[in-house]
Amino acid sequence: MNAQGLKIRNAQDKEFESVGKLTVNVYSQLEGFPKESEQPDYYKMLLQVGKGIEKENTELLVAISDDAKVVGAVEYFSNLKNYGSGGTISEIKNASGFRLLAVDPQQRGKGIGKLLTKACIERAKKHGQHQLFIHSTESMKIAWGMYEKLGFTRYPAIDFAQGDLPVFGFKLHI
């Protein structure tokens, strides 16, 4: 399977559980990232990522393989007021953001994360936004490289700590 065989669309209710499990699986395997025993509430939130779309201006996007499997997902916010992370990002006006990008570990390196990120960029453009924000951690350095290649730059004004974990902000001018 390559990125061309994928369909990016909004998640369906019946997919929420598999998206939550995928997200927990991906984040729990990140080297240096807090484990579930260290941040149980965070992992509970990951498992229930589908509930996020109950918030206004929020979409859960999925990458669907040609055999109808969820191989990636991301939560997109057309308005940052419901972004839901720490720090000051929720106070930024006239901007979009995304978080909780996850790609099936068996499908990495096929451009799925890039397709999901580009879908968020396109949605931000469609919503008339000129800025797109994200957060990442040291454990997600591979994603950092992808974001930077797409034009994102570090934006320390929205950095915060999740417990003992430093979380770094990035910004894309659209």
pLDDT tens column, 103-124: 999 998 899 999 999 999 999 9
- Homologous superfamily (CATH) of 3-173 is Gcn5-related N-acetyltransferase (GNAT) (3.40.630.30)
Which residues 6+ apart lie within 8 Å of 57 measured at CB? Answer: 77, 78, 79, 81, 82
Which residues 6+ apart lie within 8 Å of 110 measured at CB? Answer: 1, 2, 3
Assess contact for 36 and 28: CB atoms under 8 A.
yes
Q: Tell me, what's the pLDDT at 2?
A: 45
Domain extent listing, the chain: 3-173
Is the pLDDT at 91 greater than 60? The verdict is yes
Q: What's the predicted TM-score (pTM) here?
A: 0.92
Q: How confident is the model at residue 142 (pLDDT cuts 50, 70, 90)?
A: confident
